[in-house]
Amino acid sequence: MIATPGIVLHTTPYGDTSVIVKVFTRLLGVQSYIIKGVRGPRAKVKQNLLQPFSCLDMVVYDNTKAELNYIKELSPRCACTEATPVENALRFFMTEVLYKSLQEAEPMPALFDYAEQAAAVGDSAANLPISFLLTVSHHLGIEPMDNYCPREPLFDLQEGRYVSAPTDTTLSPHLSSLLHDYLNPGASPLAPLSDRGLLIDSLLAYYQLHLSGFRHFTSHEILHTILK
């Protein structure tokens, strides 16, 4: 048995009363666990603990020969409070980014610590979706190269760097410059909402080009609607 914190990424009904929950754990990477009886009338585990991006303290069985393991104990890492619509949209967004980006059984404790910290940010974090995408890309080794300069002012999504001439996968000069601002550690830009939405869509397209399993992303549409 191993004690580890975890972040809920996805739950799937299993049988009549159980669920399979996919969790990004700090010590074991992404793992899938069976929780029995959680949908039953006498469930000891409340389903609100398994909402997307819920942060948990867990004691889990770690049998490397088993296809699925069990959670022996779990509890919230912080007091549960009612989230605002914006906070819920942000959590769904961050959950989907991690769920579609991370491979199972690959511990990434530094990324876990960042994600847990991001989960505590309230709905005033206007730049969170962009900074989250950029920070996760850094931990995954696909961070955009910030070689922006007057001779190479256009960011190419396929190349992952700034280039001199436009192609089918380059961003507009305006969005390229805005991305440079966000990649600059010394800058704290707050672009207009419409520009931030376009940059989020562009970064999701970047993920799709550089991660084979990153497909059919949907939560950003909800996020755009909520933030309007």
Asked whether residue 98 falls in the same domain as residue 38, the answer is no
Rounded to an integer, what distance in angstroms lies between the CA atom of residue 49 and that of residue 80?
A: 9
| Residue 180: CATH number of its domain | 1.20.1440.120
What H or E segment, with its residue span, contains residue 35? strand 29-35
The pLDDT assigned to 80 comes to: 65
What H or E segment, with its residue span, contains residue 196? helix 193-210
The pair of structure tokens assigned to 154 is 């256009």
Asked whether residue 142 falls in the same domain as residue 192, the answer is yes
The pLDDT assigned to 123 comes to: 53
The pLDDT assigned to 43 comes to: 67
Rounded to an integer, what distance in angstroms lies between the CA atom of residue 58 and that of residue 80?
A: 16
* pLDDT tens per residue, range 98-130: 999 998 778 999 999 999 999 887 655 778 899
Give residue 66's domain range: 2-76
The pLDDT assigned to 187 comes to: 63
Rounded to an integer, what distance in angstroms lies between the CA atom of residue 111 and that of residue 24?
A: 10
* pLDDT tens per residue, range 170-179: 999 999 999 9
Question: Which of 76, 99, 124 is the last residue before a domain boundary?
Answer: 76
| Residue 17: CATH number of its domain | 2.40.50.140
Asked whether residue 32 falls in the same domain as residue 93, the answer is no
Asked whether residue 71 falls in the same domain as residue 98, the answer is no
Asked whether residue 198 falls in the same domain as residue 110, the answer is yes
Query: End-to-end CA distance of the chain, in Å?
Result: 46
Is 1 a residue whose pLDDT tops 60? yes
The pLDDT assigned to 93 comes to: 93
Residue 133 CA neighbour count, 13 Å, CB half: 26
Question: Which of 58, 76, 94 is the last residue before a domain boundary?
Answer: 76
Question: Which of 44, 76, 108 is the last residue before a domain boundary?
Answer: 76
Asked whether residue 91 falls in the same domain as residue 65, the answer is no
pTM, two decimals, is: 0.91
Mean pLDDT of all residues belonging to the chain: 89
Asked whether residue 122 falls in the same domain as residue 214, the answer is yes
**Residues composing the chain:** 228
Asked whether residue 45 falls in the same domain as residue 143, the answer is no
Asked whether residue 141 falls in the same domain as residue 186, the answer is yes
- Mean pLDDT computed over 27-54: 83
Asked whether residue 110 falls in the same domain as residue 205, the answer is yes
| Exposure letters 15-34 (e unless 16+ CB within 10 A, then b) | eeebbebbbbbbbbbbbebb
What are all long-range contacts of 105-109, with beta carbons under 8 Å and residues at least 24 apart?
105/28, 105/29, 105/30, 105/31, 106/29, 106/30, 107/25, 107/26, 107/27, 107/28, 107/29, 108/29, 108/139, 109/26, 109/27
Tell me the pairing of strands 29-35 and 69-76.
parallel
Residue with token string 């996919």: 22
- Listed ranges 68-77, 121-130, 196-205; the one with the highest mean pLDDT: 196-205
Q: Which residues contact 2 (CB under 8 A, 6 or more apart)?
A: 27, 28, 59, 60, 62
Nearest to 136 by CA among 209, 52, 220, 203: 203
How many domains are there within the chain?
Answer: 2
Asked whether residue 192 falls in the same domain as residue 103, the answer is yes
Asked whether residue 120 falls in the same domain as residue 219, the answer is yes
